[in-house]
Amino acid sequence: AQTVTQSQPEMSVQEAETVTLSCTYDTSESDYYLFWYKQPPSRQMILVIRQEAYKQQNATENRFSVNFQKAAKSFSLKISDSQLGDAAMYFCAYMREPGGGSEKLVFGKGTKLTVNP
């Protein structure tokens, strides 16, 4: 079974600084997808960034970028120029290549990010 591990229960960063959140996963599959979701106190999960395992190039979305190391099964999220609105729980998630139609996300336990003014 696939598992996702986030080893940092909490992280803090100063406004305008850079922070990196760690994620490792375990799978025997070669094709899969990785995601970072943000969950503010409103509870709605918001997609931050995604990566397809067959792509070697790391995904970027504005201030958010990932470091995808397929051999090491590592998928870290870097947030540059941190803003107060970035404060939230961040979840790393894995989805195997859909088979039989199942598009199940397997989530880690999350990292609580605090942004200090």
Partner 1 sequence: EAGVAQSPRYKIIEKRQSVAFWCNPISGHATLYWYQQILGQGPKLLIQFQNNGVVDDSQLPKDRFSAERLKGVDSTLKIQPAKLEDSAVYLCASSLPGTGRYGYTFGSGTRLTVV
The footprint of partner 1 (CB under 8 A) covers 4, 33, 35, 42-47, 50, 91, 93, 95, 97-98, 100-105, 107-110
**CB of 17 vs partner 1, minimal distance in Å:** 26
**CB of 4 vs partner 1, minimal distance in Å:** 7
At 74, list the tokens.
Answer: 């590592």
Nearer CB in complex with partner 1: 42/117? 42
